[in-house]
Every structure is written in C-alpha cells, then in structure tokens.
Structure 1
Amino acid sequence: MGGGSTLGGRRSRGHLVGVRTARIAAVSAVALIGTVLVAGQAEGTGGGGGSLKPVVTGLNGPRGVAAYDGKIVYSVGDGSVYEAWAYGKNKGIKKLGTVPGGFPPAIDTNRWGVTYALTGAGGEPGQPIPPGGATLFRMRPGKAPLPIANIAKYQAKDPDPYNVSESPTETNPFGVAVLRDGTILVADAANNDLLRVWPNGKIKTVARLKPRVIKAPSNLGGQLVPSEAVATSVTVGSDGYYYVGELRGFPATPGTSQIWRIKPGSVNAVCDPVKPYKGHCQRYADGYTSIVDLAAGPRGTLAVVQLARDSWLAWEMSGQPTAVGSLFLQYRGKYNKAGYKKELVRGKLQLPAGVAFNKYGSLFVSSPLFGPGAVYRVR
C-alpha cells in the first residue's frame, strides 16, 4: 500500500491496514450513498441471523464502542468520545472530550464509567509522532482528557525482535481493554505486541506475536511469505484470560487471522504460530480475516469484527469506497479452544469497526469506519 492515511493515521509495518487518502475522500464524496447503506442496515435482517437497531445515528466515522450499566460509549472521526443511553435512539448523548489525532480512538470503559481512549501514531512511517499520538488517555465527564502513558516512548526501548519490515520500534496502538484491577491492556498493531499499562504510566510487555508464513493469494503470486500478526484488538474473557485478534499483514490472505489466548499476568510471553499450543500464549481460534475488534460476552463467547470479509487488501485493490465486513459470535469449545462460530447480520455491515457487550448481554457494533454511520444494537 502506498502512503496516505491509515486506520490509525499511520501505515503499520507489514503493510498494515493501508487506506489511502483518496479512498477516504471517496467515501466522504458518496455521503448520500453511505446514508442509504446505513438506513438499509437499520431496517434489514442479516442472512446470518439477527437485525440491527440504531442506537446513535448521524455519526462521522464511528469506531470504538464500550458499554457500562445502561449506557454505551463511542468514538468518532475527529477523535471525540461520547456516551449515550443504550436503549433509546439518540438519547442521553453527552460528550466526554476529544483526544488528538483526527482519527477515532480505541476506547474501553470500566465498571465505574471511567473511559480510556487510545490514540494511534499518526502520519507516515519514519515521521515524528505528533503531540498526543500513540498515547493512552483517561477521560472523565467535565474534565480534559488526561494522558496516562506514552506508548511510543516505551516501544522505542522495546523493539520487536521478530520484525519483518519497517522499523522494529515502530508503534501504532490500536486496541484497548481495561482490567478489573485498574490496569489497561494495549494491543500495538505495528509493534505486534500486547502491553499492560498501570495508572501511574508504568508499562510491561505481556506478549509478542510472531509473524506467520502464509500463502499469498494467486493474484499476488501464490508464494509462501512471512506475514506480520498486526495485533489490532484485545478483550478480557469471562475466564479472565486475555484474547488478542490479528488483522494479518501483507499479503492479508483470507482465513489467516488468529485469536490468541494469553494467561493473566504474563510477561514477555510468545505467541508462535509454529508452536501455537506452547507456553502462556496459545492459539484460541484460526480462520478469520482482517480482525479489527473483539468483545467478550457471557459464558466464554467472543464477538469478532472483520473489517472486510475478503480482507483489507482485497478491498484496497478493488477501488471501491467501502466493503462488506462481518460480525461473528465465537463460542468456547473444549480444552480452552474455540468451538463453533456463528455469523450475525450477514451482509449488513459496511466496514464495521467496534463491538461491545454490556453486562446484560446486549451486543453493540459500529459501522462504517469511514463516512456517515451509526452505533447499532444487534438483536
């Protein structure tokens, strides 16, 4: 992928999620088409089961979704974060603040309603990270966002030992999850690792995701090539384990994105696709495509969001302004492995980006990542 904008403001190593500026402009230019798509989502029933009920509409580039009590929290394209009532359309909307970067941050909210927002790196590889980029913020109503940890500063001294391309210290924080003890997990899509951040700014590396040798699609040569994990998402399961989802770097072959299960409290664990069932990080599920978010639900269920069902690279190469993504429920199987999975609202989500369960078991999803969109409740 060439230069220009990316999902996190910066192209990550291994050709992570390149979305050219022209593509974003094209999405904005077809706002009317986007509005029609969103309306269709709200009214339709997916072939995979379930329907979409709008909770908050009229959003520009909705991404992050979190939930607590009877509320949802969500982020939008200019870096702003809001909360709203989860069970009434456009009800109780309150702005929590705006973080730097001009791109919707990843977010998560603890059980007391404190929200954490994670910004990406911004700009292009090799360029300085702008102020407020690659930073974890704490957000409280009526107060300015408070920077908690500078992820880029930490990664500069913690290079990826399994680096395939670009700089081994490159960073693009992309996924966030709050633990019950008040620490925060951060998935870094460029450094291919999972970090744990303390409220005082202390950081430790929980796990590193190694590249996977995959077969490129036939239109890209069909050879076996090393492809970076691109850790875009993290959630904490009902079993207390950490689950990390992969986007999959170039050539983004469909069906090669994994979900890893990491033992709580791990430090410097290795997630190895060659030895996927060894150590404190083990493969939980395989066969996904372009994962951008995970959410843990009741009884071991995971909600899994795929940005584009044919892969982010296939979308990029298609020249189309948008693409159909996917939302799955992944059920727990035996022996800490994934069981069967079920697709919801099939064909009804364009470039979905964020997902969350609340404590009542309701499921929420945002779509599309670029252009006019909404946060929906899946029924």
Structure 2
Amino acid sequence: MSFATPRRTRGLRRLAVALSGTALVAGATLTGASAVGTQSPSDPADPLARIADRYTVVRSGLDNPRSLQILPTGNVLVAEAGHGSRTDAGCTERGCAGRTGKVTLLTGVESSKEATVLDRLLSLSGPDGSFATGADGASKRPGGAYVAIIARGPGRQGGKLVAPGPEGGVRVIANISRYEENHDPDGEGVDSNPYAVLARRGGYLVADAGGDSILHVKLDGSIRTWAVMPEYGPRVDAVPTSISRGADGYIYVGELHSEQRGKANVLRYDRHGNLVDKIGGFTGVTGVDMSSNGNLYVSELFGGPCGFDQIPSCFPGRVVKVAPNGDRKFLRVPFPAGVGVRGERVLVSAFSVAPAEGFGGNPDWSGAVWRLRRF
C-alpha cells in the first residue's frame, strides 16, 4: 500500500486505499481467523484480553461506525457507513453498493437504548461489508436537525449534506462535491470526498477530505470556503477526516495525512476559520475532541505498534490523550474513528471499519462504541 504517486496523492484516493484497499489484506486475514470464534475475555489468545480492564462496550453490532458526537443532552450520535447492498444484486467482485447506511442515536442510562434518526443512506463496501464508506459523518446542534455527510458516490445522495425529509425520506441540504467541482478551493484539481460534519449556530462545517478544505454551509444550503488545509508538498495532502468544537470554543480538525508514522496533525482554528495552532506527532487521525479540562483526545486509525500482518493477534489503532502540558498517554483501540468526551466520559467508535456481523463473522469484532477508562 502506498500513498505516493508521481504527482500529488489526492485525498479521495488515499481514503480509498485506507478504507477499501486495505480490506483486501485485513479482510483475508480476518476471514481466515474466523475459526477463532467468540472468545472469553480471559482467553490469552483474544487480542482484546490484554486491554479488557481499560474499556466497556457501550454498544456493539454497529455497521462500520464512524463519527461520534456526545450531544448536550448526553445522548450519543453515531454515523454508520453501512455494509453496501442489502442483497447480492447490489454486489460485484469489487464490492457492494446500496442504502444500508444510517445515523443512530444512543439514549438512556449508559446509552442502553438505540433509535435510528436517518436511514437508507448510501453505502459502498467491500464484498464482506467491511471498510464501507458512505454516511461517514453526522452531527446535530441544539434545536437543529440531525444531519449526515455522504461520501462522493452514485445516486442523489452521493457527495451531499443531508437531513431527514418528509415521510421518513432524506432531503438534500447542499451538494458538497459540486462545490469542489465548481471552485476547487485548494487549486490542485477537482477531487471531493466529504467525510465529516459539525453542526453549529447558523449552519454546518464540512470537511472535504478529497478537496483538502473545510466548507461552511448555511442553513439555506449556500456554501463558502471556510478554510483550506495546509500544504505539505507535491506528494502529500492533509486529508481532513474529523472536525469538532472543543470545550475551549476552538474548532479542531484532524488529518489523515500520510501513512508515515507521526506526521499527521490536529489543527486548531478560531470560529472564523483562521489557523491558530497545530499539534503534531499523530498517525492517521480519524477522530478528535477536547474536554473541559483541556485534555485532547485523538483517534489514530492505524496508530500503535500493530500492523496488518499481526491481525488477529493484535489490531492496529489507538486513542491518544494529550494533556494541557503536552504529556501523552495511549490506549489501544482497534480501528478507532470518532471520539467524544463529556466530563469523565470518553467514548470512541471501535472496529470502525467492521460490519455489524463482525470481521470474519466474529461478533466480538463488530462495529461498536466503547467507553474508555484508565488511560
């Protein structure tokens, strides 16, 4: 797997590699490991056993869970990218396409109840339903509608910001990919892959991972460029994959960047889109949030010591906690994506590239939301 091209590696292609191409390696490895079956937490062969006291499973059986937002009510909003097609008719040897994506709201004590607030969203996946893309981001502001951002793809939803429509349908708020086609904010050729969204007063901020830009969408659907991501040279892009508003009021944007370890950044912007600061030293950021006491939590999709050749004995991925003084602590989380924090409550989408049935049919390796403890 390589992120370098003779010219410039564009974000959409990089995400396609990260979220689809690696499925050829991981999927084959995990399918071969399906004979392991459901393992006891005390089983030394279980790759999760060594961290069993560091997390609690809040919800499992999720379908490629991506962004995660803890709402002011304490409810948890999760974007599920789905598993491609509902039937074999939507599949080819290359993968599956359908409307299996959705946005899920977790409510109740310890998020024990589940409701679907947006359904039948575009989903593109590998043949086994893993490494899907589609409804990769979701958000809501107080008093506002639930919204989802859909990856560029076929049909009327592809590349658009959507919300619930009449009679359980979906309405389009704005066409993000068309804005990239018409304006190309970074000036380096048209490439769009809308990937994350943050609802706020007066509109939405959308991270276009392919276009290397953050766009502001007003409630009426009009779009303007809010920020263009930093330039890292002719062969590397920033690739914004996550966006959140920290407890300090700043906007935080996470970069997927390159496959090089320690090269990705978390960027801090003011409310007008001016870059204030950046925190470096990360690997493939897919989630970011800041707590009220100033701790920064960052998901690294492929971070940590484990590689694909070590699956299933060890899964890639970790969450990094950065203290206000710069000290860092790590907790292994398999393929983490969205992360949210409220007080002492730290939640993360784990196995974010796994279908509801789990990698290799193992339900212990299904898409899930974890509560992290003991950093």
Aligned residue for 2:156, secondary structure, equals coil
Deviation of 1:45 after TM superposition, in Å, equals 3.9
2:139 — aligned with what?
108
Deviation of 1:320 after TM superposition, in Å, equals 4.9
1:233 — aligned with what?
242
Question: Which one has the bigger helix percentage?
Answer: 2
2:289 — aligned with what?
295
2:337–2:352 contact (8 Å) kept in structure 1: yes
Deviation of 1:33 after TM superposition, in Å, equals 5.0
The alignment's C-alpha RMSD in Å is 3.3
Deviation of 1:98 after TM superposition, in Å, equals 3.0
Deviation of 1:293 after TM superposition, in Å, equals 1.1
Q: TM-score, normalised by structure 2?
A: 0.74
Could you give the per-residue CA deviations for residues 5-59 of structure 1, whole angstroms, max 9, x where no partner exists? xxxxx9714576433253464377355658549996876547xxx7211111122
| Residues 1:83 and 1:141: Cα distance change in structure 2 (over 3 Å) | farther
Deviation of 1:237 after TM superposition, in Å, equals 1.8
| Residues 1:132 and 1:285: Cα distance change in structure 2 (over 3 Å) | same
2:67–2:138 contact (8 Å) kept in structure 1: yes
**What fraction of aligned residue pairs are identical, expressed as a percent?**
24
2:317 — aligned with what?
325
Distance 1:370 1:28 in 2: 12
1:254–1:310 contact (8 Å) kept in structure 2: no
Distance 2:344 2:55 in 1: 15
2:90 — aligned with what?
none
| Residues 1:142 and 1:65: Cα distance change in structure 2 (over 3 Å) | farther
Which of 106, 110, 126 is the matching residue for 1:84?
Answer: 106
Deviation of 1:83 after TM superposition, in Å, equals 1.4
| Residues 1:247 and 1:132: Cα distance change in structure 2 (over 3 Å) | same
Distance 1:53 1:211 in 2: 39
- State whether structure 2 residue 74 is matched by structure 1 residue 70: yes
| Residues 1:157 and 1:357: Cα distance change in structure 2 (over 3 Å) | same
Distance 1:107 1:262 in 2: 20
1:14–1:227 contact (8 Å) kept in structure 2: no
Distance 2:40 2:216 in 1: 38
Distance 1:81 1:203 in 2: 23
Distance 2:237 2:76 in 1: 33
Deviation of 1:85 after TM superposition, in Å, equals 2.4
Q: TM-score, normalised by structure 1?
A: 0.73
Query: Residue 238 of structure 2 aligns to which amino acid in structure 1?
Result: A
Distance 2:30 2:81 in 1: 12
- State whether structure 2 residue 179 is matched by structure 1 residue 154: yes
- State whether structure 2 residue 272 is matched by structure 1 residue 265: yes
Distance 2:257 2:67 in 1: 20
2:186–2:211 contact (8 Å) kept in structure 1: no
| Residues 1:256 and 1:11: Cα distance change in structure 2 (over 3 Å) | closer
1:353–1:365 contact (8 Å) kept in structure 2: yes
| Residues 1:130 and 1:88: Cα distance change in structure 2 (over 3 Å) | same
1:52 — aligned with what?
55
Aligned residue for 2:289, secondary structure, equals strand
| Residues 1:155 and 1:76: Cα distance change in structure 2 (over 3 Å) | same
Could you give the per-residue CA deviations for residues 207-238 of structure 1, whole angstroms, max 9, x where no partner exists? 1113325xxxxxxxxxxx74111111111122
| Residues 1:82 and 1:172: Cα distance change in structure 2 (over 3 Å) | same
Deviation of 1:152 after TM superposition, in Å, equals 0.5
Aligned residue for 1:146, secondary structure, equals strand
2:194 — aligned with what?
173
